[in-house]
Structures are given as C-alpha cells and as structure tokens.
Structure 1
Amino acid sequence: MPAKRERLARRRRAAGLTQEQLAELLNTDRSTLQRWELGNTTPLPEQQRKLARALNVTAAELADLLEPEHGNGSGSTTERVAYALQHPGGTDMATVAQLRQQVSDLDERYDRLPSTSLLADTAQALGQIGFLAKYARPSLRRDLQRVEATAATLLGQLVWDASQRRDHRTARHYFEQAGRAARQVNDPVAEGHALLRRSYLALYGEHDPVEGLRLTEHAAAVTNTASDVLTGLAQLHSAEAHAMLGETRRCEAALAAAETSFGKVTSADAAANLFSPTQFDRLAGSCYLFLGNHGRAQRILDDAATAMTAPTKSQAVVLGNLGLAYLHQRDLDSAVASLHDAIDVLKTNRGGGGLNVVSNAVRKLRRWRSEPAVQDVYDRLFSLMTAQ
C-alpha cells in the first residue's frame, strides 16, 4: 500500500486551498490531485512546475513534499533538523523546507487551538531557524530569513494571547524581529503582516487608535502591489481605528477601500491563507459598535456569526461583539445567549482577543447581576478564566 504524501496535503491546506480549488488552478481533476496526495501516482514534470507555482514553493521544496511519509512523518523531520543543528554548515534546501512546513503547520493551527499549546514549538522553531541562518550559505540564509519572519510574527501573537494581551513589550519585540527579517529579503508580504500584527497591539492592547492607524496605513502601503489580502486587512483595521476616533466618513471610506481590495483577491495571492469571506463583516460590525450604531452593528455581526461554523478565536470575538451590540439595545436575552455561545468557543481555544471582548461585555452586565441568566454567564466566565 503506497504511503500518503501528508506534507503535500499540509502545504495545500497552508496555502488556503481545498483539493477542488487547487485542481481548478492546475486545470486537472480533483481525483488526480487526490491520487497524488494518497501516493498512488506522481505528477508529471509539467504538472510539477504548475503545482510548485500554485503552492508557492521551489522545485526542490516540491520534490521534498512529494516524498512519501511513513507513519506520521515526524521522525524524518526531526532527524533532518537535528542533523542540521549538529552540522549547521551542511544545512540544505530540504531542511529549510521542513522548517518552513513546520512553521506553516503551527500557523495554520493558530486560530483553532489555545496559544499556550503552540508557544513552545514555535519558540523552538524560531531559535533553530536563527541558529542555522548564522552558518547557512547566502542563498539558504535568505530562505531561512523568510521563514524567520513568519515564525517571529506567529510567536509575537502567541505570546500576546497567552498573556491575555498584557505583554505588549515581548510581542512587539517579535513583530519587529519579523519586520527586520522581511526587509532583509525584500518580502513586502511578510513585512506587511508583521506591521499589521503590531497595529493590533496599538488598537486592542494599548487603546491607541492614532498609532494603530499609522501602522495600518503603513502596512497597506507596503503590501499595496504585493497582496490584495493584506492590503484589504490593513484597510479594514484602518477603518476600525477611524471608528475608535469617531470618524464615521473616514471609517466608511476605509471600509469601501477594503471591499475593493478583497474583490480583487485570487487564490494566487501570497497571503491567500489569511483571507476569510467573513472578515469584512467581522470588522465592519466592530466599526459600527465603536461608532454607536448598535443596530447596524448587530445585523452585520449576526450575519458574520451565522456564516462562521468552526470554533475559532475569530468566532469568539464576533460572538462577544454581537453580545455587546444586543446589550446596547437592551436585548438582555439575546446578549446572554451570544455570550454563552462565545464562552463555548473560548473553552476550546482560549482566544486572547475573544476573552477580552467577552470580559468587557460581561462587565457591562453588572447592573443585571441579580438575574439568574446573567449570573450563569458570570460563573461560566469565572470558571473559564480560573482554569487557564
């Protein structure tokens, strides 16, 4: 029985592609792609060139992805990286590809798992990448710096979440490290992503919309010709910064710009894995909450919550904000129901942003604390926080 190519399947998922979507890009059948991932057949040379472009990997990296894995494949990865750490001057492209895939896998799990569960592996990977980069030949050093930018951005977010969004200093250190690595290899996508994450510190941690706006506008300028996904995300967060400042016209102009950017997104975008169809509604709903248009916020957030079925950190934020929108409209029953749903999600992933939003909403319920339904929300949130 042939061994499955798990690394190939993981790389496809990390690129944000289903089997159907990738098959369409390659102008082939889903069944053909399925046979490649199962290890039943191997793509022809011309197909491999197209596959490498679609997955944004080099020919050498694709060759490694096409190697079958026996068992869970972790042993070969561990052995290859361990050998390179003992003989850093002999680091090869396959080792770099393994580290890139390891970081990609960790990044892919970020929105679904507690940040604390990913911290150690991400920190270890970043340390290994930095060590090997010191000894690698120039061409490989540049590849490692690209992976470093991704790993440092992820680690900054994990540290911030794990501290319940209190440790701004350490998170900023990693985001700045990511930005430096990205600039050294002239990677505007990685640089823009790091800038965007830095803007979150300003907007949601330090409550400084002026600094947040500066960073989001900088991110949009950096990624303008490199990624419609990241440009759109930066414009969305610029809109939220304007909303925090009470600037309705500028907020709505930034929302319109983001909608235009998202309308140009294709699966070939270098940051396609960061795109979600619900992102616009998630941020637009938050904007109208800040602007005090609670009815409009509730309708938009309700649509976003309905469209989000997986228990992700983003879903917890939406449900928490939806609870706030209902609460501002004095719809206590709906607010409590949304907050219960948010806590259900938080129990699976301990999302830092979602926990902050839900905690803020629950504080606003204080005047109804004597209500049994409200007390139940307090008890569940307390149990969740003490269990962390």
Structure 2
Amino acid sequence: MGLAERRKALGYSQEGLAQVLGVDRTTVGRWETGRTCIQPPLRPKYAEALQLGLAELDALMVQPATTPQEAVRSSSGDRYGSRNRHGSGDRDDVIRREFLRALAVAGALAGLPSAETDNFVEGVQRQGSDDFTRMNGHLWQVYRLARAKASVHPIVRDQLAVLTETLGHRSHTEARALCGAAGDIFQLAGELAFDDNRYTDAAASYLLAASASKEAGSYDLWACALIRHAYVDVHEQRYQEAAGVLSAAERIARRGDSSLSTRHWVAAVQAEAFAGLGDLEACERALDQAEKVVHLAGSTQSVGWLRFDGSRLAEERGARYVQLGRLDLAERTLRSALGQTALAEGQSFRRRGVVLANLAAIGVKREDPEQVVSYGRQAVHLARESSSGYVVRRLQALRSGFGNLAHDVRVAELEEEIDALSATHREG
C-alpha cells in the first residue's frame, strides 16, 4: 500500500486531505507520486491524518523519481537536480534534509576515538566557520541592496549546499561552530522564500535556523530565527500563535548579548501581534519597549542577520495604528515616516512601498478614492521596481478592501494594475 491507497482507504480525496493539511491539492499529488518529499514540519500532521506513525509514513513514501534530464543536469554539476525555477522549493527541501543528515553524522563522530575521527576527515577540504560567517555577512548585504531579492537565491542556495557538505565531514566540536553559520544562512534562505510567497519553505528554513542556532549556543541568533518564524504566523493572521512564539523568543533573547538589539526587535514584532489581537494597550507598551533600542551604546547591528536599530519604528507604529483603526494617529505617523524614507540615502524600495500601501489603506477605510489611488499607484510602481512579494501582498490586501470604492473609475484602474502585478509575480 502506498500513500494514495492509504488516503483512499480512509475516505479522503486529494482535495479533502489537502484542506486538512493546509496545502494545495497538487502538493498532495506530488508527495504521493514521489516527485517531491514531504516537508519536515508537515510530516507529523500528515501522519496523523493518515492514522500512521512517522516510521509507518516513511515506509509508505515513494522516493523522488529522477528523470533522464535531471540526471544530465546532476552530472553537469547540478547536484540537487532542481526541476524548475528557484521558487519551487524542491531543491531547498533536499538541502534541508542533507543538512539534518550531516548534523547527525557530526554528532555521531563525537563518540568515535580521536584517531578514527582524524582518519574520517583526512583529505577533506577544510573551510572554517569564520569563512562561512564572512560570506554570510556579504550575502546579507547583497540581499539588502538588491532591488530584485530573488536574484540572490541561487548564491544563497550554493552557500547552503557547501556548508552542508562541509558539516558532514567535521568533528562534533567543529560542527557546533559551523551550526552558527548555518543558523545565519538558513535565516536568509527563509527571508528569500517568504518574499517569494513560499511560506512553508520559509517556516521550514526558520525552524532549521532555530535548531542550528540552539546547537551553536547562540541565543541572539536563535531568538532572531523565532522572530522571523513568527512573521509567517502574523502574515497568515494567526496572531495568538505568533504571540506564543515571540514570548519564547523574548525569553531566549534575555540570555543573549545585551549590547545587541534582539530583545527590542522582539518587542516590535510583538506589537504587530498585539495589534492583530486588537489590544491597543499591549501594542503601545511593546512599541515603547522597542523604542528603547535608541539607548543602546555603539552599533546595534554588528551582524547581518540582525539590523534592528529603531530607524523603522515610525512606520511600524503607523502600520499598527492602521491595524487598530486609529486613522488620525496612523496618517500623521506614516506621513512622517514617508518623509524619512524619501530622505534616507539608499532606502529600500520595499520599505517605502509598504509605507505607501499603508497610507492607501487609510484611504480605503475613509472611503477616499483620491488617497487610495495617489498612494496605491506609487506603491505599485515600487513593487514593480523591486519585484518584492511583500509589497505585492500588501497591495493584494489593499485591493480586497475596495468594496464600493471599485465603482470609481480610478480605483477600478488601480485594481486592474494590482491584479496584473499579482499575476506577473506568480508567473515570475
């Protein structure tokens, strides 16, 4: 019996099982035929739905098939045989599994006699954790400067593949140091997946980042991985779940480096979760805590994976007021933030686009078509320039609230622009 037969025996259609798991029907189909592997975070839920243990689920899984074309690509240097564009997530999933396997091997090496360990690693090219850390820092910088974030994805994937292969040939002590580099680069991989609307891939990368960071004993890196994971819950409006993850991140951050801004970033994201829950008092309390970042001495962002320095707090506060329906407070704060982003040299298009989308959202709530169109079109332009999935998502949320405003010709034209932008982003 295979996965499909087990599903049918329990009375599920592919559509029905997909709804239970929160995935697309085609994803279930790919799992059943072995074209892709079941992503680690979904395996327990999948096993439960099929009334199986994890070992039984593994026994029913079909190994991913390799087509002749994929074999050619593999022999030409594409080790992981990516079947389509980088956004598919298949090759990313292979790298994640390989990383976990390498980590297990490295842990097992800790129990071997030292001479045997030395023989195992003899002749392997040895790249230090410092080298990976420096390269990771460079990749974060490239990511932040890139208008089209997706362009960075192939380089990040290659870095992950090299790190994973290196980890598989290291002693336990060396592997622990490399885990810090892995906790770093998996967070960047998650950022790229999130911006590309691949939320399951993003969540899986953030979970691996948290696990690797914990293994490395890096509390700030660990907390930041959890903060990023909470963003996935916030995006899907699971605010209570996000608040729980952030509470854990807050506790971990307290054990970290007090000269870093980790705990203040936790507070800023907690404010978004509290706003989603409609709790103005808790939201403002969290924002006030986040603003204490300005009291930190020296640089607050000495590493690539942590760049919370308070410069975005005005726009964050404005966005929270929009969530809470405090429109006068929101508009005043966001207009100030918009002026700051216009003056800031090298400011990201994504950041400015989000501020514009929030100002357009105020126009929607006020039923003011001129404000909606004025700010909305500017946000669409920046979304095109940056290819940012995050700005596109904010515009999609804006469009969903048009209602009667769509009868206005100008708003209807903006609606068409957003639809065209969304279609282009899905195809890209």
Amino acid at match of 1:315: R
Structure-1 separation of matches of 2:208 and 2:361: 36
Which of residues 155, 158, 161 is equivalent to 1:127?
161
Q: Which deviations, in whole Å up to 9, do the C-alpha atoms of 1:88-136 show, x marking residues without a partner?
A: 723143xx44433332232223344333222222122112111101213
User: Scaled by the length of structure 1, what TM-score is found?
Assistant: 0.70
User: Residue in 2 aligned with 1:325?
Assistant: 362
Structure-2 separation of matches of 1:109 and 1:269: 16
Structure 2's unaligned 5+ residue stretches are: 1-120
190-199 vs 106-115, greater mean Cα deviation: 106-115
Distance 1:131 1:110, change over 3 A: same
User: Residue in 1 aligned with 2:290?
Assistant: 258
Identity %: 18
Which of residues 291, 298, 305 is equivalent to 2:331?
298
The residue correspondences of 1:241-280 to structure 2 (distance < 5 A) are: 241-264=273-296, 266-267=298-299, 269-271=301-303, 274-280=307-313
User: Residue in 2 aligned with 1:116?
Assistant: 150
Structure-2 separation of matches of 1:174 and 1:313: 22
In the TM superposition, residue 268 of structure 1 has moved relative to its aligned partner by 5.6
User: Residue in 2 aligned with 1:315?
Assistant: 352
In the TM superposition, residue 168 of structure 1 has moved relative to its aligned partner by 3.0
1:91 has 2:91 as partner: no
User: Scaled by the length of structure 2, what TM-score is found?
Assistant: 0.64
Q: Is the 8 A contact 1:321 1:358 kept in 2?
A: no
Q: Is the 8 A contact 1:230 1:271 kept in 2?
A: no
1:186 has 2:229 as partner: no
The residue correspondences of 1:7-22 to structure 2 (distance < 5 A) are: none
The residue correspondences of 1:110-189 to structure 2 (distance < 5 A) are: 110-111=143-144, 112-138=146-172, 140-162=174-196, 164=197, 167-189=198-220
Q: Is the 8 A contact 2:301 2:307 kept in 1?
A: no
Aligned residues: 297
Structure 1's unaligned 5+ residue stretches are: 1-85
Amino acid at match of 2:412: Q
Structure-1 separation of matches of 2:292 and 2:423: 43
Q: Which deviations, in whole Å up to 9, do the C-alpha atoms of 1:300-323 show, x marking residues without a partner?
A: 111112211324322222221121
User: Residue in 2 aligned with 1:34?
Assistant: none
In the TM superposition, residue 341 of structure 1 has moved relative to its aligned partner by 1.5
Structure-1 separation of matches of 2:194 and 2:243: 20
The residue correspondences of 1:188-207 to structure 2 (distance < 5 A) are: 188-204=219-235, 206-207=236-237
Structure-1 separation of matches of 2:303 and 2:315: 19
In the TM superposition, residue 137 of structure 1 has moved relative to its aligned partner by 4.6
User: Residue in 2 aligned with 1:344?
Assistant: 381
Q: Which deviations, in whole Å up to 9, do the C-alpha atoms of 1:273-296 show, x marking residues without a partner?
A: 512443211221121112110111
| Corresponding residue SS for 1:274 | coil
In the TM superposition, residue 200 of structure 1 has moved relative to its aligned partner by 0.2
Structure-2 separation of matches of 1:222 and 1:270: 19
Amino acid at match of 1:175: Y
User: Residue in 2 aligned with 1:360?
Assistant: 397
Structure-2 separation of matches of 1:276 and 1:339: 28
Distance 1:137 1:92, change over 3 A: farther
Amino acid at match of 1:236: A
Report which of the two structures shows the higher radius of gyration computed on alpha carbons: 2
In the TM superposition, residue 150 of structure 1 has moved relative to its aligned partner by 1.1
Distance 1:145 1:322, change over 3 A: same
Distance 1:184 1:88, change over 3 A: farther
Which of residues 202, 208, 212 is equivalent to 2:238?
208
Q: Is the 8 A contact 2:127 2:166 kept in 1?
A: no
Distance 1:185 1:262, change over 3 A: same
Amino acid at match of 1:338: Y
User: Residue in 2 aligned with 1:371?
Assistant: 408
Distance 1:334 1:88, change over 3 A: farther
